[in-house]
Amino acid sequence: MTSIFNKRNSIIFFVLLSLIFPTVVPNDYFLYLMTTAFIWVIAVSGLNILAGYTGYLSLAHAGFFAIGAYSLGLLTVKAEMNYWIAFVLTLGITSLIGLFVGLIALRTKEHFFAIYTLCVGYIIYLVIDKWEGLTGGVRGLIGIPTPANIGPIAFDSVHSQYYLVLFFMLLSLLIIYRIVHSLTGRTFIAIRNSEQLATTIGVSTMKNKLLAFVLSTFFAGMSGALYASVIRFIGPEIAYTSVMFDLLMYLLVGGIGTISGPAVGAIVIVWVSQQLQFLQEYRMLIFGPLLTLIIIFYPRGIVGAFISLKTRAQAKKRKVPIVNESLTPTKKQIEEG
Amino acid sequence: MDILIQQLFNGLTIGSVYSLVALGLTLVYGILHIPNFAHGALYMMGGYMTFTMMTKFGFHYWLAILIAVVAVGLLGVLMERFVFHPLRNAPPLHDKIAAIGILLFLESFAQLVWGGDYLTMPTPYNQVVSIFGLTFTMQRLLIIVAAIVIMIALNLFLKKTFTGATIIAMSQNREGANLVGINTTKVAMLTFLISGGLAALASSLASPINLVFPGMGHLVILKAFVIIILGGMGSIPGAILGGYILGFSESLGATYISNDYKDIIAFILLVLILTIKPTGLFVKGGHT
């Protein structure tokens, strides 16, 4: 059984599925929905590097997402820059702001870090909301262009934007996969498991935490830029704490500290929310308790539950006693995730 | 000069409310080491409870407050029982996320039951009094006096009663308290009861001069976190002092700097504090 559903085959299966997805959906709306889900996947994967692998829960991530969206919006609308130059600049701007915030924020730990970043997120929201001259205040920013053509490929249709976002999502996931499975990724995990121990064995924790923070803001910025060019209208509410909580929910439901978790979580919740559209305003009545229940009973989300199920089945087959049942994932489990 | 005194008075009013909210938050943090992100939702529920009791059932203001305090206190106990108690041995990340889940639920719940509108809470204390040529509303005076009375009462409760002593003991050392026969589970529930009650009381007092709406807890809870970092996580005098410092800096900032940016003041203050001293001001040893 495991031979057909192994990791490589399932990845190929899902990539193929996402490639043919536009040809099987009945209308553009679903395609649009999937495109936004992919955008969230990028942002959540970025958050995952920091919260899942390094163990620092940043609550400023929606702020960096908004910085990405607004940078792209302002550079293209107000500075009338070429789209792709603006896109690259946006990535630079968010990472740079991430570097400065990270330098200060990462000196704090645990609760202080969460509260600090929550406040940073709120400051970003308030600045966007109040600085009317630059950001347009509550009215928001309209008329953001679609991505400019690359050679003969145009990005003005829903289909082409879907593929563009898909490309960026797969690229991000690949990059994150490579990072997590490199020595750097191991270092992040070492910091998460015990920062003191990591310092003891000679890891420069500050440097690595900062790297994780900047990487996570880099992906938030990328996701924000794509969001701005697909939705083409942005308002200050994208920096609000509710967006942050959405991101957190995608991460938790999918599985924190796993590569595929953010993708599973974002796509599942976006589609479930779509099904629950009739209670749009009250969807948190369901998702709020869900978040709490998941953190109590399945702290590693859907993917985590799936992995432990698989490990158990394999152990049964080989008649090996199950050793690891703890909450923190082992090295092997992380590799499989 | 008149403006200055008026603003100092306003600062005293806002500071009283902040102190009450921060007290509940710091109590839970100091004793159970949970940064309760859902505390703002308890504040919000308190406001709605009092509002409903007054407008729907026609209760007197004080009776409505009493009911709200008990109801929200019990809500806090439920939270402790069903969420934080099972998570007491989990990594610190889990508490925070669980609290955020509760926050989202309660906010959505309020929106479902009471709608998303801004409501004005009635109060029997609308009279305007003038002292030394300055005009104050009764409600604002009431907030200040009530807050001080509650703080003294809480202090007496913690210092002079046996139950209070068990709470203090548990804040110092949970295992030790358990060893000498204190039922730590009960104390944890009691802490959440007091914490929720304080949040409800603060919102019931403040709502007549502000408004009642589902998102009313957001800014207040963020500021309460700023306060308890300012005053030292888990420190009760710190929370009171921090509340007043923030109240004054906000009301003076609103007048002399910019009304638009008055909400940012608290956060800039926090960013500055943590930039200079990452463990927070006056933090108690071992609680980081």
Q: What is the pLDDT of residues A268-303, one digit of tens each?
A: 888 888 877 776 677 778 888 888 888 888 888 888
CB-based burial label for A93 (10 Å; 0-12, 13-18, 19+): buried
pLDDT at position B202 is: 92
Q: Which residue has the higher pLDDT, B131 or B86?
A: B86
Say if the Cβ atoms of B267 and A122 lie within 8 Å: yes
Q: From CA A224, how far away is CA B48, in angstroms rounded?
A: 36
Which distant-in-sequence residues (6+ apart) come within 8 Å of A110 by Cβ? Answer: B92, B288
A202 burial type by CB count under 10 A (0-12 exposed, 13-18 middle, 19+ buried): exposed
What is the DSSP code (8-state) at residue A52? I
Dihedral angle computed from the Cα positions of residues B208, B214, B215 and B216, in that order, rounded to the nearest 10 degrees: 20
Residues 6+ apart with CB under 8 A from B8: B248, B251, B252
Question: Is B76:B36 a contact under the CB 8 Å cutoff?
Answer: no
Query: If DSSP codes are grouped into helix, strand and coil, which group holds residue A129?
Result: helix
Share of chain B above pLDDT 90, in %: 22
How many percent of chain B have pLDDT more than 70?
A: 96
DSSP A298-324: -TTHHHHHHHHHHHHHHHHHTTPPP--
Pairwise CA distance, residues A62 & A121, whole Å:
7
CA distance B127 to chain A (A): 35
Q: Are A19 and A13 in contact (CB under 8 A)?
A: no
Tally of CB atoms within 10 A around B185: 13
Place B138 in a pLDDT band, splitting at 50, 70 and 90: confident
Interface touch B94/A241, C-beta < 8 Å: no
Give the integer Cα–Cα distance in Å for A131 and B18: 27
What is the C-alpha separation between A222 and A95, in angstroms, rounded? 10
Please determine, for residue A326, whether its predicted confidence score (pLDDT) is greater than 50: no
The verdict on residue A81 lying in a domain is: yes
> For chain B, what's the residue count?
288
In a domain? residue A195 = yes
Alpha carbon of A284: minimum distance to chain B alpha carbons (Å): 5
Q: What per-residue confidence (pLDDT) applies to A152?
A: 76
For all residues of chain B together, what is the average pLDDT? 85
Instruction: Quote the CA–CA distance of A292 and B95 in Å, as a whole number.
Output: 9
Which segment of A185-189, A304-308, A333-337, B234-238 scores lowest on mean pLDDT?
A: A333-337
Is residue A77 a contact partner of residue A83, using CB atoms and an 8 Å limit? no
Q: Which two tokens stand for residue B114?
A: 């009471």
Q: Do B96 and A57 touch (CB under 8 A)?
A: yes
pLDDT above 50 (res A3): yes
Q: Is A22 helix (H, G, I), strand (E, B) or coil?
A: helix
pLDDT of A333 reads 46
- Contact residues for A129 (Cβ-Cβ < 8 A; gap 6+): A135, A137, A138, A236, A239
Cα–chain-centroid distance for residue B215? 15
Q: What CA–CA distance (Å, rounded) separates A216 from A33?
A: 24
Q: Considering only A31-35, A179-183, A258-262, B128-132, which range has the smallest mean pLDDT?
A: B128-132
Contact predicate A315/A321, CB 8 Å: yes
**Over 60: is that where the pLDDT of A310 sits?**
yes
Q: Does A268 touch chain B (CB under 8 A)?
A: no
Q: Is A249 within a domain?
A: no
**How far apart are the CA of A305 and the nearest CA of chain B, in angstroms?**
16
Q: Residue A174 corresponds to which amino acid?
A: L
Residue A206 touches partner B, C-beta closer than 8 Å:
no
Is residue B259 scored above 60 in pLDDT? yes
Q: What is the pLDDT confidence band of residue B288, given thresholds at 50, 70 and 90?
A: very low
Give the pLDDT confidence score for residue B284 in this predicted structure: 55
Angstroms from A287 CA to nearest CA on chain B: 7
- Which pLDDT band, with edges at 50, 70 and 90, does A1 fall under? very low
Q: Is the dihedral of CA A102, A107, A108, A109 positive or negative?
A: positive
Q: Give the domain range for residue A131.
A: 7-240
Contact yes or no for A15/A236 (Cβ under 8 A): no
Q: Specify the number of domains making up chain A.
A: 1
| β-bridge mates for residue B212, sequence order | B119
The pair of structure tokens assigned to A128 is 């966007």
What is the pLDDT at residue A233? 86
Neighbours of A196 (CB within 10 A): 8
Say if residue A337's pLDDT is above 70.
no
Q: How many CB atoms neighbour CB A84 within 10 A?
A: 12
Tokens 């630059």 found at: A134
Query: How many Å apart are CA A276 and CA A285, to the nearest integer?
Result: 11
Q: What tokens does B7 get?
A: 């603003």
- CA–CA distance, A21 with A313 (Å, rounded to integer): 32
Q: Is residue A292 part of a domain?
A: no
| A110–B288 CB contact, under 8 Å | yes
Question: Taking a C-beta distance cutoff of 8 angstroms, is the pair A176, A49 a contact?
Answer: yes
pLDDT band at A306; cut points 50, 70, 90: confident
Q: Can you tell me whether residue A233 is helix, strand or coil?
A: strand
Q: Does the structure show a pLDDT above 50 at A331?
A: no
Is residue A311 domain-resident? no
When CB atoms are compared, the residue of A112, A130, A290 closest to B280 is A112
When comparing pLDDT for A308 and B25, which is higher?
A: B25
The enclosing H or E element of A125 equals helix A110-130
pLDDT for B286 beyond 70 = no
Asked, for residue A186, whether it belongs to a domain, the answer is yes
Q: What is the pLDDT of residue B42?
A: 93
Q: Does A27 have pLDDT greater than 70?
A: yes
**Minimal Cα distance from A108: which residue of B?**
B278
What is d(CA B226, CA B222) in angstroms, rounded to the nearest whole number?
6
pLDDT at B72: 93
Give alpha helix (H) positions in A145-276: 158-180, 183-193, 195-200, 205-231, 241-254, 261-275
DSSP per-residue letters across B41-81: HHHHHHHHHHHHHHHTS---HHHHHHHHHHHHHHHHHHHII
* B-chain residues near A245 (CB < 8 A): 100, 103-104
**What's the mean per-residue pLDDT of chain A?**
84
Q: Is A213 helix (H, G, I), strand (E, B) or coil?
A: helix
Mean pLDDT to the nearest integer, B196-220: 88
Mean pLDDT for B74-100 is 86
A243: distance to nearest CA of chain B, Å? 12
Q: How far apart are CA A173 and CA B211, in angstroms?
A: 45
What is the C-alpha to C-alpha distance for residues B274 and A110, in angstroms, rounded to an integer?
Answer: 13
| Number of other CB atoms surrounding residue A81 within 10 Å | 15
pTM of the model: 0.84
Beta-carbon separation of B263 and A126 below 8 A: yes
Task: With cut-offs at 50, 70 and 90, classify the pLDDT of residue B273.
Answer: confident
Residue A228 or A140, more confident: A228
Flag whether A225 is in a domain. yes
- Which residue blocks in B233-277 are alpha helix, DSSP H? 236-256, 262-276
Task: Reply yes or no on whether the pLDDT at A43 is more than 90.
Answer: yes
Q: Residue A160 in contact with residue A154, Cβ under 8 Å?
A: yes
B261·A130 Cβ contact <8 A: yes
Report yes or no on A327 lying in a domain: no
B274, B281, B284, B287: best to mutate for the A interface, most A CBs within 10 A: B274
A116 vs B98, B103, B274: nearest CB? B274
Q: Is A245's CB within 8 Å of B279's CB?
A: no
- Give the chain A residue nearest B260 (alpha carbons): A130
